[in-house]
Amino acid sequence: MSKKNQSNRLTNQHKQSQGVVGIFGDDAKSHDLTVGKISKIVIKQLESEYPQLSFRYRESIKKEEINEALKKSRPRVRSDSFCFKL
């Protein structure tokens, strides 16, 4: 996707969600709570299925941490170039 198309898409998305209202509104808060609850259920299920492994639940994680972990596990993956062929 070209940068201009992405910029237009994000602008439209921002307008539709009413900016900050959409990000911090009731629907967003409800979504966050639901994802948090499901995440904890998934962790318990993983712990029971894979007792030899350890898992942890984190309230938040920074993109930088995710990118660093990806670089360590998959050094050939570049975060700036994900291309998909149809």
Tokens of 55: 């898992």
Amino acid (1-letter code) at residue 77:
V
pLDDT tens digits, one per residue of 23-77: 677 888 888 889 889 999 999 999 999 999 999 888 888 988 988 888 887 766 6
Q: Residue 69, Cβ neighbours under 10 Å: how many?
A: 11
Q: How far apart are CA 56 and CA 7, in angstroms?
A: 35
Place of tokens 């972990």: 69
Q: How far apart are CA 85 and CA 3, in angstroms?
A: 18
